[in-house]
Structure 1
Amino acid sequence: MHPPSLPPPGPSRRRVLGSVAGLGALAALTAAGCAAPSGAGSGRTLLRYWHLFGGGDGVNMAAMLDAFRQEHPDIELEAATLQWGAPYYTKLGMAGAGGRAPEVAVLHLARLAGFAPGRLLNAFDLDLLAEYGVTPADFPEDLWRRGAVDGAQYAIPLDTHPMVLYYNTDICERAELLDGDGRLLPIEGREAFSAAVRAAGEVTGRPGLVIETLGADTIGPWRIFATFYAQTGGTLLGDDGTRITLDDAKALEVLEYMRSLTADGLAPPQVDYQGTVGIFSAGDTGFFLNGEWEVSTFTNTGMPFSMARVPNLFGSGAAQADCHSFVLPNQNDRGGATNEAAHAFVAWMLRHSVDWAAGGHVPAYLPTLEEPAYLEMHPQSEYRSVIDEVALDPPAWFAGSASMLWLELGAVFSGVLTGSRSPRNALEEARSRLADLLDTPSPFGETA
């Protein structure tokens, strides 16, 4: 995800590649540099927690951590906020390789396959987690399964942060696109979506949709492609993440539609991430396709807007997403009071995730989706049903948030939106880059 109200974090391709190449050597330094006591003074149990939440997410997380401390005076919680993206994952990998990592940390679920479960991460004790009131039945089956490797659970999902459709309610009302309750009327199919965008544009005299099309390390074009392509039922890689399964016909259909959005004047062809936020904030466009994390930005401006699921344009309601999840970084001597505290902490955070949902993320802990406090949260609860149709990256070491996959294919699909590449050229280049990524060995070797 991107920190709300900020431009997308910029893990440059050079920095990502450098992080990958250097992990093995850097990991050797951790034995000397990451040591920490296993307990705190005055008989309290020390619990160290690493995360990457900034912006509005950081504020929400800090409030939750303060509440946890108040309810658990016997636990001394030390939380560290690290730089989003490649720097965070480099440091977390180093700590796990040295066996002297924090007790608990955050990991994007789609990055699990590349994080060497069993070596850089320890598995959760599901019996212990159940003692604190959290069981596998409390999560969507697909998300829970993605956290498992070889029968052990290495990641517990906190949320999912999908692509959504923001809409300006004033513009859409004038375009007669809202129902009697002020919600966006159902949109099914590409023709209907294009017509809705066109109608919004007629109100403003400008393109009716804004999307990220370019910029340094742009990843928005990848997210848009991944959403529409998932709706076709197509896949990029096989279940084992080792072979290309890209369906050329389906991918080309998606890329041609993406090109039509800018070529037909429905969306401006050259806008970076910060520009998209500014255009929608200014009321210059009716629709905005992006991740849900900008909800705080637009709420704080007081602009009239709401949010909905990405419409079914290609056959389903799937939306590209990743999930924040909790993991247990590898500790050579994991166990005892600190490990129990880690499990207690994870369970508490999940059971209080209605507070986390204020930032736009859809809670993965299913009981939260039925809590009145969440259902009364608008527009955050409007797109909650997407939890059953989120499309995560394929299970490959180079996939997931801030990954090489996002950077490489984001650059390719950017050209489709700006007009510098034809859809067919982009398809050929995407296939070539996928092959290169598959030929690049994981810095950790086998993942388990």
Structure 2
Amino acid sequence: MKKGFARRAIAATVALGMGMTLAACSGGGSGGGSGSSVQSGTYKGPKVTVTFWNGWTGGDQQTILTKLVSEFNSSHKNIVIKPVEMQWADISAKMPLAIKAGKGPDLTVAHGDDIATYAAQGLLVKSDAIVKELGYKASDFPPGLFEHGVYQGAQYGIPWSVTPLGLYVNKSVLQKAGISPTDIPADKTTYLNDLQKLKDKGIQGEWVDGYVFTGTFEFESLLWQYGGDLFNKDVSKATFNSPAGVQALTWMVDLVKKGYSPAKVAQDGNINALIAGKTAFNWNGIWQTSNTALLKDQWTAAPVPQIGTQKGVWSSSTDWAFVNNKGQDKNKTQAAAAFVEWMENHSTVWAGGGELPAANKTRNSSSLAAQYPNLKPFLSELDYAHFETTAPGIPNAEATITVAVNNAILGKQSPKDALDQQAAKADQLLAQNKQQYGG
């Protein structure tokens, strides 16, 4: 499981195990700080220490971050970046009280579906002026991503990384079924043909689960492929139970019914089966490219196949956000902005931790492709990727999607009944979020 999404996974697990509660996220307040100006990423003020909260607690990402921070600190005599690692869920829980007391970080990183919540709680500085001075604009990032950092007309996030889903393939398993490992399925017909060939050899070709990782992300990708969406435009109503949603979830359930997938796949059972040579395909995130258990010559990755009427794939993102502490030191905010620009300009190595740099100029550079050839299939998906919904408190409504997927995959409900029931619960949560946060 990708640790970066622990907050959403925890919410979904609670919903699955205890029933969906109708309480909105804690916090309150309206609006954020007024913003601070910087001059093209430079900082010439007094020496400051910038505290930076993030959820990269281990593995390659933490190692890469430590090296980048050390390099930045050694080249900036008047700025000291002090990273503080903690679980993503702990950041959400601890920031409101810490910021109210003036003891929060000066800079943080948030997932795309957390930005609006933090902004509505008054935890973040409006960063329009910073963005303008640094020269960032929507066209510097994948389509639709920059706008996800906007809340009530103000910019609060600067994109840092993106993590699309892809199709992981065990080449040796394909060969057992007489399928060329170079002929990776890209459409519905070819994918079904391969699954049938695998079944004929006694191999269940794709293990479908009902968890956030990766059943929910696969369902959402299929929903968009069939022309649907998760919520309506103003995020006041769930729409994942549309005919497109029913088609998407029915596709997944049918994989189990037809014997292409076993029933009751455990959390992470699908990626473990791929590694063990028990299955051929796994829809999973780009972070698995750094999974050392995947033998180098055994696997490859490709864009997810187009099952529906159009291309579509789920992707998450992370954004830099400037924190609105009580009595926030503007010098620290300016220094934090200088650090953000420096990091964006040195983000090629971030791909080594299983995330793509959000900045187009870095991500599309020849050096990144040369250093990390396994990432090439994911690069091509970003033109049609869909990122997290932007609305205060949205993670609680997102969790209902996993409940629906789980209930249908386990055969507890039909796809339509499962989606309808959870969409109704999501509507209640969305209404409570509107009441709490004001839109």
Q: TM-score range by the shorter chain?
A: 0.7 to 0.9
Q: 1:154 to 1:21 in 2, by over 3 A?
A: closer
User: After superposition, what is the alpha-carbon deviation per residue over 1:295-344, rounded to whole angstroms, capped at 9, x for unaligned?
Assistant: 21246654611111111111222111221111112124445321121111
Matched, 1:44 2:43: no
Structure-2 residue corresponding to 1:211: 208
Partner of residue 159 from structure 1, selected from 158, 161, 174: 161
Matched, 1:2 2:6: no
Which amino acid in 2 is paired with 1:392?
F
Q: 1:429, CA displacement in angstroms?
A: 1.3
User: After superposition, what is the alpha-carbon deviation per residue over 1:109-145, rounded to whole angstroms, capped at 9, x for unaligned?
Assistant: 122222234822112254x556556554321241111
5 Å matches for 1:14-413? 22-23=26-27, 44-56=47-59, 57-85=61-89, 87-117=90-120, 119-126=122-129, 128-129=130-131, 134-173=136-175, 175=177, 177-178=179-180, 183-189=182-188, 191-202=189-200, 205-213=202-210, 218=212, 220-246=214-240, 248-298=242-292, 301-302=295-296, 304-334=298-328, 336-376=330-370, 377-399=372-394, 403-413=395-405
User: After superposition, what is the alpha-carbon deviation per residue over 1:33-86, rounded to whole angstroms, capped at 9, x for unaligned?
Assistant: xxxxxxxxxx6311110011134332332232222223323311111111133x
Structure-2 residue corresponding to 1:31: none
Structure 1 residues not aligned, in runs of 5+: 26-42
Structure-2 residue corresponding to 1:28: none
Q: 1:343 to 1:18 in 2, by over 3 A?
A: farther
CA distance in 2, matches of 1:61, 1:197: 40
Q: 1:233, CA displacement in angstroms?
A: 1.9
| Segment of structure 1 superposing worse, 93-102 or 7-16 | 7-16
Partner of residue 432 from structure 1, selected from 404, 424, 429: 424
Which amino acid in 2 is paired with 1:198?
Q
CA distance in 2, matches of 1:147, 1:21: 19
CA distance in 2, matches of 1:431, 1:7: 20
Which amino acid in 2 is paired with 1:163?
L
Contact 2:24 2:429 in 1 (8 A): no
SS in 2 for 1:383: helix
Q: 1:94 to 1:392 in 2, by over 3 A?
A: farther
Structure 2 residues not aligned, in runs of 5+: 30-45
CA distance in 1, matches of 2:183, 2:75: 41
Contact 2:230 2:238 in 1 (8 A): yes
CA distance in 2, matches of 1:145, 1:307: 29
SS in 1 for 2:53: strand
CA distance in 1, matches of 2:333, 2:7: 36
For these two proteins, the number of residue pairs brought into alignment is: 419
Q: 1:176 to 1:221 in 2, by over 3 A?
A: same
Q: 1:427, CA displacement in angstroms?
A: 2.3
The percent identity for this pair of structures is 23
CA distance in 2, matches of 1:247, 1:22: 27
Contact 2:237 2:426 in 1 (8 A): no
CA distance in 2, matches of 1:251, 1:329: 37
SS in 1 for 2:268: helix
Q: 1:227, CA displacement in angstroms?
A: 0.9
CA distance in 1, matches of 2:79, 2:418: 53
Q: 1:166 to 1:93 in 2, by over 3 A?
A: farther
Q: 1:195 to 1:99 in 2, by over 3 A?
A: farther
Q: 1:22 to 1:66 in 2, by over 3 A?
A: same
CA distance in 1, matches of 2:69, 2:10: 27
Q: 1:276, CA displacement in angstroms?
A: 2.4
SS in 2 for 1:122: coil
SS in 1 for 2:77: coil
Contact 2:287 2:355 in 1 (8 A): yes
* TM-score, structure 1 as length reference: 0.83
CA distance in 1, matches of 2:318, 2:14: 23
Q: 1:405, CA displacement in angstroms?
A: 2.9
Contact 1:2 1:8 in 2 (8 A): no
* TM-score, structure 2 as length reference: 0.85
CA distance in 1, matches of 2:382, 2:98: 32
CA distance in 2, matches of 1:147, 1:105: 14
User: After superposition, what is the alpha-carbon deviation per residue over 1:142-200, rounded to whole angstroms, capped at 9, x for unaligned?
Assistant: 1111112344210111111122111112233554655xxx64435212x3222223334
CA distance in 1, matches of 2:55, 2:96: 14
Q: 1:424 to 1:94 in 2, by over 3 A?
A: same
CA distance in 2, matches of 1:432, 1:74: 53
Measured on the aligned residues, the alpha-carbon RMSD in Å equals 3.2
Q: 1:19, CA displacement in angstroms?
A: 9.3
CA distance in 2, matches of 1:200, 1:353: 40
Contact 2:208 2:256 in 1 (8 A): no
Structure-2 residue corresponding to 1:29: none
CA distance in 1, matches of 2:405, 2:25: 26
